[in-house]
Amino acid sequence: MNALCNNVFINARPISLLFWQVSSIVGICLIIIGVGAGYVDVATHFEFEFLSNHFGIFLIGALLGTLSAFIGVIGWAKHLKPGTRARVAGLVFAAPWIGGLLGYPIEGFNIHGPSALLLLMIVPASILALVLVIMAGY
């Protein structure tokens, strides 16, 4: 019985790490689906009625994804080395800008289109990058 309890406590860290990883990945996927749905809708000239009529679902998904990714990346970063935290901070800071550059050929930077969601992602991404840099000790 004692060996079973010790095994559970020894493996507690990988289980928590897995939780943070899944939370981060699910959040990132929700953000990509939410923002991507807007770009697909614009690129197809609003052909898909489901996307146009139910875009609020994708918007809520993107917002929940932002929250999940924000919290998940912080939890995941606790398990990383300081240098890796700094690299993740750079990637997090650059992600909305990279998304904007990838979406630029579809619509450009239109504040009334899907790029508005990417512009809104700049603020939480910058805050998260700052938190990660502080966690890295730089």
pLDDT at 2 over 70: no
Q: Is residue 5 part of a domain?
A: no
pTM: 0.83
Q: Is residue 61 part of a domain?
A: yes
Contact between residue 103 and residue 31 where contact means Cβ atoms under 8 Å apart: no
Domain tally, the chain: 1
Domain extent, residue 36, equals 15-136
Q: What are the tokens at 110?
A: 């239109």
pLDDT at 135 over 70: yes
Residues 76-130: pLDDT tens digits? 999 999 999 999 999 999 999 999 999 889 888 888 888 888 889 999 999 999 9
Q: Is residue 2 part of a domain?
A: no
